Amino acid sequence: MSDRPSVTLAAMSLVFFLITATTFSSLGVVLPAMIGDLHWSWGAAGTGFSLLGVAAGITAIIPASLIRRLGVRATLVIGSLVMAAAFFCLMVTHGLPLYFLGCLLAGLGFTLLATVPGTYLLARLFAEPSFPFGIYFTVGGLGGVAGPILYLWVQSAAQNWRTYWLASLVIVTLAGLLTAMLVDTRTDVRAGAEKDTRITADDWSVRAALKTPQFSVLAAAYSIFPFVGITVNAVAVGHLMRQGVSVTLAGGAMSLEALFNAGARFLGGVLVRWVSAKTLLLLALVLMILGLMALSVARDTPLMIVYAVGVGAGYGLTFFASTILLLDYFGRGPNLELFAAVNLISTIGAAGPAFAGFVSDHAGSFVPAFAILEALVLIVLIAVAPMRAPKWSN
């Protein structure tokens, strides 16, 4: 048996790790140095982070189209060049326009290199893809832990934030181009009978799948975890400091949350052999609600641990389980377009920080925003609970 599927998994996981570390994970850590050097306002600099998130969502359909037209190798090469351009803009910027352009390009590059081509390849290469998906998502999640560490290491060595963007340009571009050469584009387990009994063998079309209520529920589930995750990552430290928690302890809780996020993705890949993906999704949504409740009132370490476990593990498991259910319910054939579609819909999560800030400005606290998020997660939970696999018909 060829080892190329395993090489593909390793290469795509490495790219996912690096691109997560150098974009979403570290931009917020680099910003204080950029703001101090370039004399920007926090509002203007924070807009770049929002542009990164929005671009990563609204461009999700682009890699799906490129893969169908040009192939996955060409898509990865294009993604590598886009990321090189993004990091170059960030490296040489002296004003906001080039910074905003860099953030937009980074969002596009993220979709071209990360989950859309990754899930496409893994669904084609592995007869039982749940565990490979778990590994892939876990390694990508660990990039969220490594990003700040990587920046601090480069900063201590070079004393220059521009050097960090240069280092990011080199490692991400080289990793992307190398992966484009290594990935297995020939193996396609869809050519034979479906071997994974959890994945439907029905011949769903993209259009038919999009019309089902199950797709709408899964799209809502896939959208709620970034809404919660992005919002919490943006405001948790500020909220906890208002509660009397030190910035060091609050930052530690966020790091712990990232670790539980990554660990839950791996655990999902293991548990799904014995526990249904739907059960895991229900558990994940309950965990997110409990995590948000704990965050609302946390003033000491025990409750901050509950917050980190609930939001972190809930985020990771929701990401994993909703992705697997999309594959199980509608099969491998339309998965590329359907996964791109839920990523596009999940762009709504980028509004989270602005929503929480608006609530805080008017209520004097982030707690009402957390309560609204809890209610939204509960609505998704209620929709998921009775859900069954859709019935296919010609």
Judged against a pLDDT cut of 70, whether residue 180 lies above it is answered with: yes
Q: Report the percent of the chain where pLDDT is more than 90.
A: 64
**CATH topology (fold) of 4-185:** Growth Hormone; Chain: A; (1.20.1250)
Q: What is the pLDDT of residues 216-262, one digit of tens each?
A: 999 999 999 999 988 888 788 788 888 898 877 887 888 888 899 99
Superfamily grouping for domain 206-384 = MFS general substrate transporter like domains (1.20.1250.20)
Contacts of residue 4, defined as CB under 8 A and 6 or more positions apart, other chains included, come to: 184, 187
1 falls in which pLDDT band (50, 70, 90)? very low
Give the per-residue pLDDT at 394: 57
- The model's pLDDT over 41-84, given as tens digits with 9 standing for 90+, comes to 877 887 887 788 889 989 999 999 999 999 999 999 999 999 99
Q: What is the pLDDT of residue 384?
A: 97
Of 24-28, 213-217, 375-379, the one with minimum mean pLDDT is 24-28
Compute how many other C-beta atoms are within 10 angstroms of the C-beta atom of residue 210. Answer: 16
For the chain, domain boundaries: 4-185, 206-384
Assign 303 a pLDDT band (cuts: 50, 70, 90).
very high
Tell me the residue type at 182.
Answer: L
Instruction: Report d(CA 112, CA 107) in Å as an integer.
Output: 9
How many whole angstroms separate alpha carbon 4 and alpha carbon 75? 19
Per-residue model confidence as pLDDT tens digits over 337-386: 999 999 999 988 878 887 888 888 888 888 999 999 999 999 999 999 99
194 confidence band (pLDDT: 50, 70, 90): low
Q: Provide the phi-psi class of 393: left if phi over 0, else alpha when psi is between -120 and 50, else beta.
A: beta
What's the pLDDT score for residue 55? 92
Round the average pLDDT of the chain to a whole number and report it: 91
206, 212 contact by CB (below 8 A): no
Residue 190 has a pLDDT of 74
Task: Judge whether residue 126 has pLDDT over 50.
Answer: yes
- pLDDT for 102 equals 97
Q: What is the pLDDT of residue 325?
A: 96
Using the predicted structure, report yes or no on whether residue 142 has a pLDDT greater than 70: yes
Confidence of residue 192 (pLDDT cuts 50, 70, 90): low
Q: Do the first three CATH levels of 4-185 and 206-384 match, i.e. the same topology?
A: yes
Q: Tens of pLDDT along 168-178?
A: 999 999 999 99
